[in-house]
Structure 1
Amino acid sequence: MKKLLVLIALFSFSVLANAQNPVGVFENHADVGTVLLKGSATYDNATKTYTLSGSGENIWFRKDALHFAYKTMKDNFLVSTQPSLVGQGVDPHRKSGWMARVDADSSSAMVCLTVHGDGLTAFQYRKLKGGNIEEIKIPMLQADVLQLERRGRSYIVSVAKLGQPFWSVEIPDFDFPAELMVGLFVCAHNKNVLEKATFQNTRIFAEVK
């Protein structure tokens, strides 16, 4: 049967029985790694806006620290959002965007598509648990739209300024399990502060076989 991508509606969603902190379409939100200040996540149904706050020293090398709103997704997916960091911020490397993790461990294998406070837009990934993060810097500063697609063993990254064409690249050879934690994140890049990000026009498409 032909595979289809179907939209998971933002306006109606089911909460799993074991979810502790559901927010919007996401089953849970929680801090990942060692953080000094507890993060949070909210969803405004009137404006269809997610707001995440989080601390965390970094997402780099062999460990991550951040706040993460996520749902469990299996096999192929496509997700899109418009992120915006709030205020001037403390560190130019504070960041927000999409993330897909194998598990909640701070050294988990993962991918993330992110915009930094200084405008850097990048795809960062750790192919193996406990390994160092690798990075592809995208030739576009302060992207307005982030789209991340999983297609088999590849990830397709697409970013754009509003009203402009997408810039895209495919990164192959990820040996991840079928089931991943997929969602929005914010990282302060400074363990002593909380930074905030908003996310609009968030869309999640899951594969139906």
Structure 2
Amino acid sequence: MRSFALVSLFGLLSLCSMAQHSVGIFENHVDIGKVLQPGTAAYDKAHQTYVLTGSGENIWFQKDELHFLYRKTVGDFIATTQATLSGKGTDAHRKTGWMYRSSLDTSAAMVSLTVHADGLTAFQYRKKPGTNIEEIKTPVVHPDILQLERRGRSFFVSVAKIGNPFWTVEIPDFDLPQEMLLGLFVCAHNRNQVEEAKLTQTRIFTAVK
């Protein structure tokens, strides 16, 4: 009886430990890369806002450093959010937005829809693990809405200011796994600094099966 009670207690503690990392619709959050300052993630239900803090030197070339709030996603999806960076910050290239990764490795295959503090908005991607990131800049700066969509081997990026039509582009020919990690991120672009991002009206749509 005592042995069963101990097993049950350990199981309960394990479940509680796992549950502590769940935030809103997302399953977990973690620092990626050798960040010096740990990040955080929280959800304000009243305002439907995710608040992320994080450090990280950059997301570029073959190495990513950031704080990532994510969930497993299988197959096609549409993900939309409104993203802002808090305060003046320390670097014009601090950034936030959507990220979609094959793993939590610093050089994993990934795509991201990223808005920088100076307004630069870009689709950045690494088609294969360990390769350099490529980039497509959008003509819209400081967009209010970021939308990332997967359709098979293609990604569609749509950005807009409220009251204006979406600017959309298709980026084809990705050989990525069906199951990947989709979520929100923040990167300080300064390994010694912690920056904050707020993301609201965040939705992920997948096919009903």
Which residue identity does 1:205 align to in structure 2? F
Show structure 1 runs of 4+ deviating over 2 A: 15-20
Say whether 1:78 aligns with 2:78: yes
Residue in 1 that maps onto 2:101: 101
Report SS of the residue matched to 1:197: strand
Residue in 2 that maps onto 1:64: 64
- Number of aligned positions between the proteins: 195
* Cα distance, 1:171–1:36 mapped onto 2, change above 3 Å: same
- Unaligned stretches of 5+ residues in structure 1: 1-14
2: CA distance, partners of 1:20 / 1:149: 29
**What is the percent sequence identity of the aligned residues?**
62
How much does 1:129 deviate?
Answer: 0.1
Residue in 2 that maps onto 1:179: 179
Residue in 2 that maps onto 1:10: none
Residue in 1 that maps onto 2:53: 53
How much does 1:167 deviate?
Answer: 0.3
How much does 1:163 deviate?
Answer: 1.7
Residue in 1 that maps onto 2:11: none
How much does 1:17 deviate?
Answer: 9.0
Residue in 1 that maps onto 2:141: 141
How much does 1:83 deviate?
Answer: 0.2
Residue in 1 that maps onto 2:92: 92
TM-score normalised by L of structure 2: 0.91
2: CA distance, partners of 1:33 / 1:22: 21
1: CA distance, partners of 2:16 / 2:169: 34
* Cα distance, 1:133–1:80 mapped onto 2, change above 3 Å: same
- Unaligned stretches of 5+ residues in structure 2: 1-14
1: CA distance, partners of 2:115 / 2:69: 17
Greater helix content: 2
Residue in 1 that maps onto 2:32: 32
TM-score normalised by L of structure 1: 0.91
Residue pairs, 1:154-169, within 5 angstroms: 154-169=154-169
CA-based RMSD: 1.4
